[in-house]
Amino acid sequence: MPADFNGQWVMVTNENFEDIMNAIDIDFATRKIARHLTQTKVIVQNGDKFETKTLSTFRNYEVNFTVGEEFEEVTKGLDNRTIQRECVLQTLVTWDGDKLVAVQKGEKANRGWMQWIEGDLLHLEIHVEDKVCKQVFKKKP
Ligand code: ECB
């Protein structure tokens, strides 16, 4: 049985988010708004199949995947990049024990994330190049 990520998770901390936004060339005006957002993660999981939504008052981002199946992830709308190819990633999510590990191949080196549960907390580490953002979410009762 894989770990169970189902639920709604509300952000409690968001460390170094600015670094990640800078690393993927998010403009100043967008960063200024985005750094104050309380994000909510909505996850529907059926075994290895995931439907995920990251919601905020400013922008939402949806990505669906099956663990072990590489897919084309288009972050346009999230990254809001001007050149289409810059936001196309080849993404593969795998299990590392009970942790989900995503490798996102694209324009930026060493891009990906790792996500796991500890009690009623969801931990998410997002990395790009040498930057790491650490987010923690608390499960909605
Ligand atoms: C969608 C809420 C945040 C909106 C921020 C708006 C602009 C900033 C642009 C880019 C910021 C860089 C990364 C976004 C960080 C979080 C979004 C989702 C990260 C993700 O892929 O989470 C996975 C694992 O939880 C979804 O399956």
ipTM of the complex: 0.98
Is residue 100 in contact with ligand 1, taking CB distance under 6 Å? Answer: no
Tell me the torsion sign for CA atoms 5, 140, 115, 66: positive
Q: Closest Cα to residue 20, out of 137, 102, 129?
A: 129
* Residue whose CB lies within 8 A of the most ligand 1 atoms, among 32, 37, 53, 126, for a mutation test: 126
Q: Ligand 1 mean position to 131 CA, how many Å?
A: 15
pLDDT digits (tens, 9 = 90+) for 28-70: 999 999 999 999 999 999 999 999 999 999 999 999 999 999 9
- Tell me what percent of the residues of the chain surpass a pLDDT of 90: 85
Question: What average pLDDT does range 6-14 have in this prediction?
Answer: 98
Using CA positions, which residue lies closest to atom 5 of ligand 1? 34
Give the Cα separation of 74 and 60 in Å (integer): 13
- Domains of the chain (ranges, CATH numbers): 7-139 (2.40.128.20)
